[in-house]
């Protein structure tokens, strides 16, 4: 019996060692740490956290120390007299009723201050961003710029960003741990939050997550935040607002007068439009070289999903464009019933609120797709079109590969796309810059 306390000490030391080992693991990167001063909001939260942690550590050391001291000091000894039966002590009990009060007041006061500071209305000149949660991807709209994008959020460093948060389906929560706290997206309710990415931030990328359980692919609802200089941001936004570079719509818009521009989309929907020509001016794009390893998704793709990658090299952009945009092919490749590609499919008259899938106008400029789950490259996009559900559980995107089993319709796809057709579509999508 008397040996036991020493065993306990041993175990306690093991725990302490473990704790230290965990805390001090050098060389390990914590890209999503909440302890980085990247915005004024995070700085406020960290200041509050530090104070609570300090108080908590005091309490921890005091209580656990007292407990360990007590059980060592008063462990049973042979022939010890019966302890004095003490039933209580009013003074002591009043003291330790007040003790927590003394600990809690220094927490309560800055808490209230920080609540009101961080929940104050955002600055009037803030950059407005509307965040829409979808099962399971993110839509970002910049109403001041007329830009709609998905899963990748561009922010100018040093400028306050005011977020308006809404969901189109179930509850989600918008969180970029390294930049600020989270805020839920609630159906039939609009939420707000704001923060200012520090001016010191250069071209930095941050990972964001959905933190309200939202169904099958809750874990797969991720996004990236790219901070850059205000000039770069303006350049990016100015181009994202337009139709993709080199697309017929963009060419028409620049070449002819208003009336022609109005007619062009209508015509484009009926007659196969000419293939888009690659154009070099695509505005600012967050450089791939600045992405760190933790910003690049490594999600495995099931081996059962095969695709003849050789087809991708010889794919025909024009054919892909025709498949996607020609209304005659809508039964086969109904892309534009859910996705907006600016300048295409005007007949369908799809609005931002009506589009079920991400806006694809500049999909070629995005580094990730499918809720930040995969790097945007031809091989991945081709497999995604072929059978999205095996790549992302519960995905609402149709399965198009002929012969693939679709989890949505619970049957094999008979009227779909061949690998060749998919390759052509991918080539077209990748050209949308």
Task: Write the interaction track for other proteins spanning residues 167-196; mark x where CB under 8 A is met and - where it is not.
Answer: --xxx-x-x-xx-xxxxx-xxxx-xx----
Instruction: Pick from 9, 13, 17, 63 the residue near other proteins by CB under 8 A.
Output: 63
Pick the binder of other proteins from 9, 13, 14, 199 (CB under 8 A).
14
Q: Give me the 260-279 binding string for other proteins, x by CB under 8 A, dash otherwise.
A: --------------------
Looking at 50-58, 139-147, 240-248, 352-360, which segment touches other proteins (CB under 8 A)? 50-58
Structure tokens at 131: 């965040």
**Phi and psi of 69, rounded to 5°?**
-60, -45
Burial 98-131 (b: 16+ CB within 10 A, else e): eeeeebeeeeeeeeeeeeeebeeebeeebbbbbb
Contact 313, 403 (CB under 8 A): no
What dihedral angle (degrees, nearest 10) is formed by the CA atoms of 101, 102, 108, 114?
Answer: -170
For other proteins, give the closer residue by CB, 190 or 256. 190
Per-residue binding string, other proteins, 17-36, x by CB under 8 A, is: -xx--xx-x--xxxxxxxx-
CB of 133 to other proteins, least distance (A): 12
Q: Which of 149, 196, 207, 361 binds other proteins (CB under 8 A)?
A: 207
- SS3 of 86-152: the string is CCCCHHHHHHHHHHHHHHHHHHHHHHHHHHHHHCCCCCCCCEEEEEEEECCEEEEEECCCCEEEECE
Is residue 256 within the footprint of other proteins (CB under 8 A)?
no
Q: Are the C-beta atoms of 5 and 75 separated by less than 8 Å?
A: yes
Interaction between residue 38 and other proteins (CB under 8 A): no
Degrees, nearest 5: CA angle 146-148-149? 150
By CB under 8 A, is residue 54 in contact with other proteins?
Answer: no
Please name which of 187, 371, 239, 367 lies closest in space to residue 293, comparing C-alpha atoms: 367
CA-based R_g, the chain, Å? 29
Instruction: Give the binding range for other proteins (CB under 8 A) out of 49-57, 122-130, 255-263, 380-388.
Output: 49-57
Question: Measured from the CB of residue 274, what is the shortest distance to other proteins in angstroms?
Answer: 40
CA nearest to 380, candidates 389, 365, 371, 370: 370
Length, in residues, of the chain: 433
CB of 60 to other proteins, least distance (A): 6
Q: What would the two tokens of residue 135 be?
A: 């099962």
9 interacts with other proteins by CB under 8 A:
no
Residue 109 makes contact with other proteins by CB under 8 A? no
Write out the binding residues for other proteins, residues 368-427 only, by CB under 8 A. Answer: 393-394
Instruction: Indicate the residue among 56 and 274 with the shorter CB distance to other proteins.
Output: 56
Site string for other proteins, 360-379 (x = CB under 8 A): --------------------
CB of 198 to other proteins, least distance (A): 17
Of the residues 9, 13, 20, 104, which one makes contact with other proteins according to CB under 8 A: 104
Long-range interactions of 415-421: CB distance < 8 A, separation 24+: 415/331, 415/332, 416/332, 417/323, 417/332, 417/333, 417/385, 417/386, 419/307, 419/308, 419/311, 419/382, 419/386, 420/311, 421/319, 421/320, 421/323, 421/332, 421/333
Of residues 67-96, those binding other proteins (CB under 8 A):
67, 70-71, 74-77, 80, 82-89, 92-93, 96
Beta strand extents in 215-315 (DSSP E only) = 222-228
Kindly state the number of chain residues that form the binding site for other proteins, as judged by CB under 8 A: 110
Nearer to other proteins, 126 or 347 (CB): 126
CB atoms within 10 A of CB 191: 16
By the rule CB under 8 A, 6 interacts with other proteins: no
* Cα(404)–Cα(204) distance, integer angstroms: 39
Q: How far apart are CA 422 and CA 411, in angstroms?
A: 20
Q: Can you give the three-state secondary structure of 298-322, one letter per residue? A: CCCCCCCCCCCCHHHHCCCHHHHHH
Q: Which of 64, 288, 309, 352 binds other proteins (CB under 8 A)?
A: 64
Which span (289-297, 334-342, 412-420, 423-431) binds other proteins, by CB under 8 A? 289-297
Least Cβ distance, residue 399 to other proteins (angstroms): 17
**216 part of the interface to other proteins, by CB under 8 A:** yes
- By C-beta, is 184 or 234 nearer to other proteins? 184
Contact status: 164 vs other proteins (CB under 8 A): no
Binding residues for other proteins restricted to 310-369, rule: CB under 8 A: none
């Amino acid at each position: 019996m008397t040996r036991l306390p020493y065993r306990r000490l041993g175990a306690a030391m093991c725990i302490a060692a473990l704790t230290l080992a965990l805390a001090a693991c050098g060389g390990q990167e914590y890209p999503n740490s909440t302890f980085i001063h990247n915005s004024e909001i995070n700085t406020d939260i960290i200041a509050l956290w530090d104070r609570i942690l300090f108080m908590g550590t005091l309490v921890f050391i005091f209580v656990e120390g007292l407990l360990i001291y007590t059980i060592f000091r008063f462990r049973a000894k042979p022939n010890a007299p019966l302890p004095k039966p003490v039933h209580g002590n009013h003074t002591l009990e009043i003291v330790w009723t007040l003790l927590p009060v003394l600990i809690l007041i220094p927490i309560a006061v800055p808490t209230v201050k920080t609540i009101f500071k961080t929940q104050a209305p955002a600055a009037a000149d803030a950059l407005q961003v509307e965040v829409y949660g979808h099962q399971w991807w993110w839509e970002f709209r910049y109403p001041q710029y007329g830009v709609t994008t998905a899963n990748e959020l561009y922010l100018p460093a040093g400028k306050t960003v005011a977020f308006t948060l809404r969901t189109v389906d179930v509850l989600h929560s918008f969180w970029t741990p390294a930049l600020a706290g989270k805020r839920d997206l609630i159906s039939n309710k609009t939420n707000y939050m704001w923060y200012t990415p520090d001016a010191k931030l250069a071209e930095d990328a941050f990972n964001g997550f959905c933190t309200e359980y939202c169904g099958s692919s809750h874990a797969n609802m991720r996004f990236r935040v790219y901070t850059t200089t205000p000039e770069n941001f303006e350049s990016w936004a100015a181009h994202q607002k337009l139709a993709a570079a080199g697309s017929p719509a963009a060419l028409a818009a620049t070449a002819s007068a208003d009336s022609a521009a109005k007619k062009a989309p209508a015509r484009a929907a009926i007659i196969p439009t000419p293939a888009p020509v690659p154009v070099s001016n695509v505005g600012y794009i967050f450089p791939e070289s600045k992405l760190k390893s933790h910003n690049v998704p490594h999600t495995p793709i099931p081996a059962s999903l095969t695709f003849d990658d050789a087809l991708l090299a010889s794919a025909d952009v024009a054919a892909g464009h025709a498949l996607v945009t020609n209304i005659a092919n809508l039964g086969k490749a109904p892309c534009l019933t859910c996705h907006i590609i600016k300048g295409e499919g005007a007949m369908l008259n799809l609005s931002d609120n009506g589009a079920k899938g991400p806006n694809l106008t500049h999909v070629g400029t995005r580094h990730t797709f499918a809720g930040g789950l995969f790097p945007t490259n031809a091989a991945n996009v081709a497999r995604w079109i072929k059978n999205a559900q095996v790549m992302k559980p519960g995905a609402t995107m149709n399965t198009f590969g002929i012969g693939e089993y679709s989890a949505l319709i619970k049957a094999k796809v008979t009227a779909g796309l061949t690998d060749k057709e998919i390759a052509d579509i991918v080539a077209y999508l990748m050209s949308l810059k």
